[in-house]
């Protein structure tokens, strides 16, 4: 991403793709993880073909501005929900409601609220490095009062890296021509192509960076399968770096280098509680939701599809699902009000593909 696209985007295995990889391919479809890796590799090849041909530009230009704004806002609201969950400010609501407020007397929640207030003040006063300062101050307070450390309970050691070669180059293509395998490839390809497109459209500060960033994303995704991981996508958390001033690939290079260096300090990272990270994620997500102001709210057929994208991305925890409903709803809404000229032929094709994806997910996966 740094060298090819000069874009401030971090590539990581996305949680939505991880969920599809694990719970759909392996658990629901009863494929082995090696077969799931093979599906990822084939899907990434198709993604590469789209990224390095005119198809990527055609698809991008076919997306109406209202849907692009909905994508940006949806990812922002997704980040807000992630931040609120990390702060324990929201939790599962049980039988009475989808979500419920967290325990406001909890030390973790109070620490997160402190961090949110401090980080917000620093941001509003345009303090350089305000996000980092907020994380540090909140982490120090957490250490002093022993709040939020070792939350995951996971044991991570550099010694585990010695086992890494055992998962490389393990794709199993033996079921390549079965219906189950091909349906999984189709769904995975739709997720990779359009989730990445939506993320990059929503995150990139300079839209001229899109084409090469999209190509870089495809290359990273292609390599991830051979390296034994689920497909990589542009990380929504890249928005934190962009809001802090990142505009070029130097940000992605710096972030990647720090990730690598952080392997040496894994024990120390346990002292940075989720409550310290949550405020940055919440504020960043709120900023991204500002994209909604560009939508024409005087035309319900214009903003309702964008609304579906915005709310369904966080509610389903899947960017691709939110995109699917919005893209299918847009041409239907325009047909209903007699504005078919506003819908390109390409958008009809995309809507049909998303509809097919939803049907396949419901019937076969």
What whole-number distance in Å separates Cα of residue 244 and Cα of residue 129? Answer: 7
What whole-number distance in Å separates Cα of residue 101 and Cα of residue 55? Answer: 45
Same domain, 339 and 196: no
Lowest-confidence segment of 138-147, 316-325, 345-354 by average pLDDT: 316-325
What whole-number distance in Å separates Cα of residue 323 and Cα of residue 361? Answer: 14
CB atoms within 10 A of CB 206: 12
Q: pLDDT-derived band of residue 365, with 50, 70 and 90 as boundaries?
A: low
Q: Which of 239, 216, 344, 358 is nearest to 287 (CA)?
A: 239
Q: How many domains does the chain have?
A: 2
Average pLDDT over residues 80-107: 88
The reported pLDDT for the residue numbered 152 is: 46
User: Would you say 242 and 202 are in contact if contact means Cβ atoms under 8 Å apart?
Assistant: no
Average pLDDT over residues 123-145: 91
Handedness of CA 306, 329, 336, 347 (dihedral sign): positive
Retrieve residue 158's tokens.
Answer: 């550099």
User: Would you say 283 and 138 are in contact if contact means Cβ atoms under 8 Å apart?
Assistant: no
Retrieve residue 228's tokens.
Answer: 């034994």
- Alpha carbon 52 to its chain's center: 22
| Residue 233, strand partner residues | 12
Same domain, 260 and 321: no
Lowest-confidence segment of 216-220, 243-247, 262-266 by average pLDDT: 262-266
Structure letter (DSSP) for residue 96: S
Residue of higher predicted confidence among 150 and 99: 99
Q: Which residues contact 230 (CB under 8 A, 6 or more apart)?
A: 13, 17, 18, 21, 22, 36, 40, 224
Q: Which of 233, 267, 288 is the last residue of a domain?
A: 288
What whole-number distance in Å separates Cα of residue 21 and Cα of residue 230? Answer: 7
Same domain, 208 and 326: no
User: Would you say 217 and 196 are in contact if contact means Cβ atoms under 8 Å apart?
Assistant: yes
Average pLDDT over residues 233-243: 82
What whole-number distance in Å separates Cα of residue 349 and Cα of residue 326? Answer: 14
Q: Which of 239, 264, 288 is the last residue of a domain?
A: 288
Same domain, 195 and 330: no
User: Would you say 88 and 112 are in contact if contact means Cβ atoms under 8 Å apart?
Assistant: yes
Same domain, 264 and 313: no
The reported pLDDT for the residue numbered 284 is: 86
Residue 91 phi/psi, 5-degree rounding, is -150, 170
Enclosing H/E stretch for 11: strand 11-13
Give me the chain's average pLDDT, please.
Answer: 88
Structure letter (DSSP) for residue 231: P
User: Would you say 201 and 210 are in contact if contact means Cβ atoms under 8 Å apart?
Assistant: yes
Average pLDDT over residues 61-86: 89
Retrieve residue 307's tokens.
Answer: 């609304």
Average pLDDT over residues 21-31: 82
Retrieve residue 296's tokens.
Answer: 């024409």
Same domain, 179 and 247: yes
- The predicted-structure confidence for 153-164, as pLDDT tens digits, reads as follows 445 566 677 788
The reported pLDDT for the residue numbered 241 is: 85
Lowest-confidence segment of 207-211, 213-217, 301-305 by average pLDDT: 207-211
| Residue 234, strand partner residues | 11
Same domain, 284 and 315: no
Above 80 in pLDDT, residue 95?
no
Same domain, 246 and 302: no
Same domain, 301 and 255: no
Same domain, 191 and 314: no
Residue bearing tokens 């189709």: 186
Mutual angle of helices 300-316 and 319-336, in 10-degree steps:
160
DSSP conformation letters of 111-123: HHHHHHHHHHHHH
Q: Which of 261, 288, 315 is the last residue of a domain?
A: 288
What whole-number distance in Å separates Cα of residue 22 and Cα of residue 44? Answer: 17
Residue of higher predicted confidence among 94 and 282: 282
- The predicted-structure confidence for 158-202, as pLDDT tens digits, reads as follows 667 778 888 899 999 999 989 889 988 988 898 888 888 888 988
The reported pLDDT for the residue numbered 15 is: 63
Retrieve residue 16's tokens.
Answer: 């939505």
What whole-number distance in Å separates Cα of residue 86 and Cα of residue 97? Answer: 19
Q: Which of 239, 314, 208 is nearest to 10 (CA)?
A: 239
Same domain, 283 and 342: no
What whole-number distance in Å separates Cα of residue 48 and Cα of residue 108? Answer: 43
Same domain, 111 and 88: yes
- The whole-model pTM stands at 0.78
User: Would you say 40 and 188 are in contact if contact means Cβ atoms under 8 Å apart?
Assistant: yes
Enclosing domain of residue 46: 2-288
The reported pLDDT for the residue numbered 300 is: 96
Average pLDDT over residues 38-56: 95
């Amino acid at each position: 991403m740094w060298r090819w696209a000069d874009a401030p985007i971090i590539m990581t295995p996305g949680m939505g793709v991880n969920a599809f990889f694990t719970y759909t391919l392996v658990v629901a479809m009863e494929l082995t993880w090696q077969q799931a890796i093979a599906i990822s590799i084939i899907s990434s090849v198709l993604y590469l073909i789209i990224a390095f041909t005119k198809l990527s530009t055609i698809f991008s230009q076919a997306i109406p501005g209202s849907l692009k704004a909905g994508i940006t806002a949806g990812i922002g609201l997704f980040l807000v929900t992630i931040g609120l969950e990390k702060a324990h400010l929201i939790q599962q609501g049980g039988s009475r409601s989808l979500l419920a407020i967290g325990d406001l007397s909890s030390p973790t929640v109070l620490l997160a609220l402190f961090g949110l207030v401090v980080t917000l003040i620093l941001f509003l006063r345009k303090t350089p490095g305000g996000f980092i300062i907020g994380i540090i101050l909140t982490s120090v307070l957490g250490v002093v009062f022993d709040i939020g450390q070792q939350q995951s309970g996971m044991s991570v050691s550099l010694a585990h890296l010695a086992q890494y070669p055992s998962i490389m180059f393990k794709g199993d293509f033996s079921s390549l021509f079965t219906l189950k395998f091909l349906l999984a490839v189709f769904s995975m390809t739709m997720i990779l192509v359009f989730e990445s497109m939506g993320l990059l459209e929503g995150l990139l500060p300079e839209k001229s960076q899109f084409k090469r960033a999209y190509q870089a994303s495809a290359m990273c995704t292609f390599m991830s399968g051979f390296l034994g991981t689920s497909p990589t996508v542009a990380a929504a958390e890249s928005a934190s770096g962009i809001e802090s001033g990142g505009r070029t690939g130097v940000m992605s290079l710096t972030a990647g280098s720090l990730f690598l260096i952080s392997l040496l300090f894994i024990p120390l990272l346990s002292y940075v509680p989720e409550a310290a990270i949550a405020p940055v994620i919440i504020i960043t997500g709120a900023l991204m939701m500002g994209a909604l102001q560009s939508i024409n709210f005087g035309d319900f057929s214009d903003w309702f599809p964008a609304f579906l994208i915005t709310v369904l991305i966080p509610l389903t925890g899947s960017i691709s699902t939110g995109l699917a409903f919005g893209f299918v709803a847009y041409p239907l809404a325009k047909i209903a009000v007699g504005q078919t000229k506003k819908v390109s032929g390409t958008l009809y094709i995309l809507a049909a593909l998303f509809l097919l994806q939803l049907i396949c997910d419901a019937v076969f996966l």
